[in-house]
């Protein structure tokens, strides 16, 4: 800050420090240059060309189509029908799943935020389904929910809840997908538990003295104190769900029945080998959507309460 006021020899020492500092962060700087900036730039240029997936070459970029890869989402029915379906599916899932996971994960954490015998075991049990890799989870659920020889239908049939089509009908696919994601609640719960531990105990004690019931305490103390975590969950939830890929791929492979589970990234993957330029354009659209949503969430985050020590 006040370098100019320092004698020259001190500035020389700073110079050394400068190099050392840059050496420390060199891996990530190189990493971002090589594995983020270069591919992003390459994808951006490619998104104006019509080409199939092939090795990078300086001379051959394919046919220049200008903004064609972007505008065909609106003009050509073959692409626009799938594009809008993918957007619809992804948005529907994000709008339902993010708040649902937020609220249920929070309630679960409130339930388990107590010190009783065996609480650690209970928490671990709730977390267990998160340890099943997404691919396994997809395979597992496609077996469980198979309408013909799946276990779930036979169990539900025994208690008279009829025969469901699950992922074998367009109508029930999304609901089924949201249902199987409920088993991942444990992951969010662990984050919530960490946050709940940070709420000062004194707040509850004084509220109790003032005669506030437990529901009132929950809404007047716990929820406001947890707002930073709510913001974090919102951001990560939105960014994550917009990129949903592996679970769906392992579950239904393509877009599901009548493209009812055609998630956006799944659509990009479907296009990448034959229309590389188009898939680059699609991924840039996803990037813009993510950026806009994140900015909107951040800008409207006045409701977040940061305690002094935070």
Partner 1 sequence: MKASIPSAVPALCARPKKKPTGEISRTVCKRIGFYAAALALACFFLFPFFVMICMSFLSDADVVQRVLFSPTGTVEIGNYFLTPGTDYMRYFCNSLLVSVLCAVGIPLVSSLCAYGFAKCKFHGRDVTFSIVLSTLMLPSVVTLIPLYAIFSRLHWINTLFPLWVPSLFGGGAMNIFLMRQFFRGIPDDIVSAAKIDGAGVFRIYWQFCLPLCVPVLLYVGYQSFVGNWNNFAGPMTYLDANSKYVTLALGLFHDYGPASNAYPNAAMAAGAVMTVPCLLLFVFFQKYLIEGVSVTGLKG
Contact 261, 173 (CB under 8 A): yes
CB of 309 to partner 1, least distance (A): 9
- Backbone angles phi and psi of 71, in degrees to 5: -75, -20
Listed residue (265, 244, 250) closest to 141, CA to CA: 250
Contact 135, 250 (CB under 8 A): yes
Cα–Cα distance measured from residue 70 to residue 85, given in angstroms and rounded to the nearest whole number: 16
Residue 209 sits in the site that holds partner 1 (CB under 8 A): no
Residue 222 sits in the site that holds partner 1 (CB under 8 A): no
What binding mask, one character per residue, do residues 154-193 give for partner 1 by CB under 8 A, x or -?
x----------------------------x-xx---xx-x
CB of 49 to partner 1, least distance (A): 12
Q: Where are the alpha helices (DSSP H) in the chain?
A: 8-32, 38-46, 68-75, 77-112, 119-127, 134-144, 151-158, 170-181, 185-197, 201-209, 214-217, 223-225, 227-242, 246-252, 264-272, 276-299
What binding mask, one character per residue, do residues 28-57 give for partner 1 by CB under 8 A, x or -?
xxxxx-xxx-xxx-xx--x------xxxxx
Cα–Cα distance measured from residue 246 to residue 172, given in angstroms and rounded to the nearest whole number: 20
Q: Of the listed pieces 72-80, 87-95, 139-147, 171-179, which binds partner 1 according to CB under 8 A?
A: 139-147
Cα–Cα distance measured from residue 142 to residue 123, given in angstroms and rounded to the nearest whole number: 27
**What are the residues facing 50 on neighbouring strands?**
63
Q: Of the listed pieces 25-33, 64-72, 86-94, 169-177, which binds partner 1 according to CB under 8 A?
A: 25-33
| Closer residue to partner 1 (CB): 96 or 239 | 239
Please report which helix (H) or strand (E) contains residue 64, including its range.
strand 63-64
| Closer residue to partner 1 (CB): 75 or 101 | 101
Among 165, 294, 297, 301, binds partner 1 (CB under 8 A): 294
Cα–Cα distance measured from residue 186 to residue 196, given in angstroms and rounded to the nearest whole number: 15
Q: Of the listed pieces 4-12, 62-70, 88-96, 274-282, which binds partner 1 according to CB under 8 A?
A: 274-282
CB of 32 to partner 1, least distance (A): 6
CB of 42 to partner 1, least distance (A): 5
What binding mask, one character per residue, do residues 87-116 give for partner 1 by CB under 8 A, x or -?
---------------------x--xx-xxx
Listed residue (224, 231, 264) closest to 98, CA to CA: 231
Among 242, 255, 261, 275, binds partner 1 (CB under 8 A): 242
CB of 279 to partner 1, least distance (A): 6
Dihedral (CA of 163, 165, 171, 173) sign: positive
Among 67, 95, 151, 161, binds partner 1 (CB under 8 A): 151
Contact 85, 262 (CB under 8 A): yes
| Closer residue to partner 1 (CB): 55 or 77 | 55
| Closer residue to partner 1 (CB): 85 or 240 | 240
Size of the site for partner 1 (CB under 8 A): 104
CB of 71 to partner 1, least distance (A): 20
- Backbone angles phi and psi of 157, in degrees to 5: -60, -35
Among 6, 10, 11, 18, binds partner 1 (CB under 8 A): 18
């Amino acid at each position: 800050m006040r370098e100019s006021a320092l004698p020259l020899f001190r500035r020389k020492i700073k110079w050394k420090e400068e190099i050392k500092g840059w050496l420390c962060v060199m891996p990530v700087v190189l990493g971002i240059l090589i594995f983020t900036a270069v591919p992003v730039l390459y994808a951006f240029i490619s998104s104006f060309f019509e080409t199939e997936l092939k090795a990078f070459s300086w001379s051959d970029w394919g046919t220049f189509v200008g903004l064609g890869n972007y505008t065909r989402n609106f003009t050509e029915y073959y692409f626009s029908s799938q594009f809008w379906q993918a957007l619809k599916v992804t948005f529907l899932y994000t709008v339902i799943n993010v708040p649902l996971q937020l609220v249920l994960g929070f309630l679960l954490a409130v339930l388990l935020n107590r010190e009783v015998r065996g609480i650690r075991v209970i928490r671990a049990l709730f977390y267990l389904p998160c340890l099943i890799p997404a691919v396994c989870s997809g395979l597992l659920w496609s077996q469980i929910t198979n309408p013909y020889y799946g276990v779930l239908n036979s169990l539900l049939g025994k208690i008279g809840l009829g025969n469901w089509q699950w992922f074998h009908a367009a109508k029930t696919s999304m609901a089924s997908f949201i249902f199987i994601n409920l088993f991942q609640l444990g992951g969010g719960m662990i984050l919530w538990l960490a946050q709940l531990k940070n709420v000062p105990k004194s707040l509850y004690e004084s509220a109790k003295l003032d005669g506030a019931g437990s529901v009132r305490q929950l809404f007047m103390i716990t929820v406001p104190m947890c707002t930073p975590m709510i913001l974090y969950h919102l951001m990560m939830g939105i960014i994550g769900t917009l990129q949903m890929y592996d679970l769906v791929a392992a579950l239904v492979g393509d877009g599901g029945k009548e493209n009812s589970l055609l998630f956006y990234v799944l659509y990009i993957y479907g296009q990448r080998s034959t229309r590389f330029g188009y898939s680059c354009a699609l991924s840039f659209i996803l990037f813009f959507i993510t950026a806009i949503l994140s900015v909107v969430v951040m800008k409207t985050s006045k409701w977040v309460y940061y305690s002094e020590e935070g």
